[in-house]
Structure 1
Amino acid sequence: MYQDALHDLNDQDYSDSTREGIHRTGRMIFRKALEMELIKKDPTEFAYLKKEKKTIEQLEEEEIPKYLEKEELALFLKTAEDYGLEHDYLIFLILSYTGIRVGELVALKWKDVDFVNHTISITKTYYIPTNKTLKYLLVTPKTRKSRRKIIVDEEIINALKEHKEVQNQVIKQLEDDYYDKDFIFTKMERQHGYPIVIKTVQNRMKRLLSLADLNPELTQHSLRHTHTSLLAEADVALEQIMDRLGHSDDQITKDVYLHVTQEMKKEASQKFSELMRSLR
């Protein structure tokens, strides 16, 4: 049954990385069940993922993850500033300028912000198992690398200060009706003070992309790839980028980095050739 389920994922055209992630999770679950003596045999032991050989054409057509060029990012943030709903500009400014995950952003509390040293500490992520706002969980990041402290720009610090002043006024007005657990991004219409849900960020981004006439297929995770590409363009080393993003090994990040740096190398070669031609 387990093997059939893996084959079924292949028939549904899920990507290799998605199927591998599901298979890894399945193995973890059944191994734990074996350890707890809930089952006698691990059904994932000899299971395998079916991989079809790709043609040269398919390999050539494969694209790296979609992200925004710097001019597009500037337009997106300007749109968020001019036409965004509550929190939008600050949310997307932080996601774009730090590369943090949306779950990490939603879980942020004021105590995570160091206004003096201009840092944001990532120590937890948001999880909502039942899709009910009041039943959220804050869980520790999955790896040691995910727990990190990010240096941020003064623009973000100033925007956070402004946001805190507004939020303090709301707390003062609502008093006991405000669920005050120190969250930075909170619901303001109902369930005041509870952290906003990830779906809200997804919907807000879709709206802003439409207003800015940008690629509608981009997601909030694309801002993480955007951050990677712009750091690479700014000549930041891959190791530093990985450290900032909070993972020790990620092929997608490497692919984005290599793509951008490869383009930069081509440009350097072209500039050299142009210089030599000008001397003839």
Structure 2
Amino acid sequence: MAQIKKYTKKDGSKAYMFNLYLGTDPVTGKQRRTTRRGFRTMAEAKTALSRLELEVMENGLPTSKRKIMTFEEVYKLWFEQHKATVKESSAYIHNTIIKVQVLPYFGTLRVDKIDTVYCQKQVNRIFKTLKNYNSAINLIRRIFDYAKVMKQIKTNPMNDVIIPKKRKTLDDTDKPVNFYTKEQLRTFLETLKEHAPYQMYVAFRVMAFTGMRKGELAALKWSDVDFENGTISINKTVAFNNAGKFHIQTPKTRKSIRTISIDDTTLNALKTWKNELRKELFKQGQNIDKGDGFIFHTQKGNFIIKYIDKFLPSFLKKYNLPPIKPHGFRHTHASLLFESGASIKEVQDRLGHENIKTTMDIYTHVTKSAREKTAEKFAKYIDF
């Protein structure tokens, strides 16, 4: 406990002083003390001592000797903790967002000098330039929260930021829909079977008739297919790791781990592809029947995920087929399931949606298309 002492100054006058123990500095690990002197009266010394004790109690050690970090320095410390709590693919995405969208604007600034006005300016920029703007904004907020925990700042400057919202425009309804109708899918698969490598026909058939994600497709092994019972087990996916390279990890969500039934035509296509592959691997001295090989892969044995992204747009353009992205076959499967009479719960389980809202969004779209035909159906039925 600090004691106030009376002492004699060089000029012979009397004054008061105190020496206060502040605690252990978490940055240096050393004990910190401070001495204040030159108070004319005991009352002045007591007031100064009380104020200093209250400040240390509320805010921690005075920051005069503490190194205040830049945003990038705080980010690096935060990311070391963060990457241990999320999947490698998520850590890779978050790291990329921060490096591209945040560090060029925040990185060199001291965290205690960044205010809400500056943060609002950057939030507005991110909103205009990034489709998934909420993700970037939330990451910035979490990094400042970490800076606060480390006693680098007293308040998070992101707390009072206003996040803009996208406004729907009349053009939103005219945006191209990323799915095929039943007839469009039939034409696509027939064209694919006739003009593309057989592996590509099987791969897109599996995606369109199971609704699995392309990462899940790329991770499939022969042991995941039960030819006897006509099912496929989806229990892994291909995704980026922290080094920006593809690797195998658990699926997107808990619900994504699932076993689904497949139709006979798709099953037979897989059998045919397996027999073709067996012949090729036999020449190389490999045995496909062990079941540990990937069903789909490039000629060099790499994951097929990038090849699919490259193959699809060029094939569609060459044969003048409607535009669609690989993920659109998942949407296509869901849409056709609803049209065939499947329930919302059945579609959610088959596609592995964690949140039923995702399933409902597709259902709303499908029923909207059906509603547009209602008047036409009614007029044809009445016929007068």
Name the TM-score, length of structure 1 as normaliser.
0.78
* 1:49 paired residue among 155, 160, 163: 163
* 1:19 paired residue among 133, 151, 160: 133
Q: Deviations over 1:117-143 (max 9, x none)?
A: 1111110110233455xxx32111232
1:123 corresponds to which residue?
235
How far, CA to CA, are the matches of 1:102 and 1:123 in structure 2?
13
Q: Gaps spanning 5+ residues in structure 2: where?
A: 1-105, 107-118
How many residues are aligned here?
A: 261
How far, CA to CA, are the matches of 2:166 and 2:275 in structure 1?
56
2:259 counterpart SS class? strand
Aligned-CA RMSD value = 3.2
2:284 counterpart SS class? helix
Q: Deviations over 1:46-78 (max 9, x none)?
A: 5553225445x356x464742111111111111
Aligned residue runs from structure 1 range 1-280, under 5 A: 1=106, 5-12=122-129, 14-15=130-131, 18-23=132-137, 26=139, 30=143, 34=146, 49-54=163-168, 57=170, 61=173, 63=175, 65-85=177-197, 87-129=199-241, 130=243, 132=245, 136-175=246-285, 181-188=292-299, 190=300, 192=301, 194-196=302-304, 198-216=305-323, 218-249=324-355, 251=357, 253-268=359-374, 270-277=376-383
1:126 counterpart SS class? strand
Kindly provide the amino acid, as one letter, of the partner of residue 211 in structure 1: K
Shifted more, 78-87 versus 267-276: the winner is 267-276
Shifted more, 152-161 versus 269-278: the winner is 269-278
RCO comparison, higher one (Cα < 8 Å, 6+): 1
Assess if the C-alpha contact under 8 Å between 1:75 and 1:212 holds in 2: no
How far, CA to CA, are the matches of 1:44 and 1:210 in structure 2?
46
Instruction: Classify 1:105/1:52 alpha carbon distance in 2 versus 1 (closer, same or farther; 3 Å).
Output: closer
1:167 CA displacement: 1.8
Q: Deviations over 1:135-170 (max 9, x none)?
A: x32111232111111111111111111111222222
Q: Gaps spanning 5+ residues in structure 1: where?
A: none
Assess if the C-alpha contact under 8 Å between 1:76 and 1:208 holds in 2: no
The structure whose Rg is larger is 2
How far, CA to CA, are the matches of 1:155 and 1:225 in structure 2?
20
2:178 counterpart SS class? coil
- Amino-acid identity (%): 31
Assess if the C-alpha contact under 8 Å between 1:101 and 1:221 holds in 2: yes
Kindly provide the amino acid, as one letter, of the partner of residue 327 in structure 2: H
Assess if the C-alpha contact under 8 Å between 2:235 and 2:250 holds in 1: yes
Q: Deviations over 1:102-123 (max 9, x none)?
A: 0000000111111111111110
1:83 CA displacement: 1.1
2:85 corresponds to which residue?
none
How far, CA to CA, are the matches of 1:257 and 1:195 in structure 2?
32
Kindly provide the amino acid, as one letter, of the partner of residue 314 in structure 2: R
Kindly provide the amino acid, as one letter, of the partner of residue 165 in structure 2: K
Assess if the C-alpha contact under 8 Å between 1:100 and 1:224 holds in 2: yes
2:165 counterpart SS class? coil
2:272 counterpart SS class? helix
Assess if the C-alpha contact under 8 Å between 1:104 and 1:125 holds in 2: yes
How far, CA to CA, are the matches of 1:253 and 1:245 in structure 2?
9
Instruction: Classify 1:46/1:241 alpha carbon distance in 2 versus 1 (closer, same or farther; 3 Å).
Output: farther
How far, CA to CA, are the matches of 2:366 and 2:356 in structure 1?
16
Kindly provide the amino acid, as one letter, of the partner of residue 183 in structure 1: F
Name the TM-score, length of structure 2 as normaliser.
0.59
Assess if the C-alpha contact under 8 Å between 2:298 and 2:307 holds in 1: no
Instruction: Classify 1:39/1:63 alpha carbon distance in 2 versus 1 (closer, same or farther; 3 Å).
Output: farther
2:36 corresponds to which residue?
none
1:241 counterpart SS class? helix
How far, CA to CA, are the matches of 2:319 and 2:357 in structure 1?
30
Assess if the C-alpha contact under 8 Å between 2:141 and 2:159 holds in 1: no
Assess if the C-alpha contact under 8 Å between 1:225 and 1:253 holds in 2: no
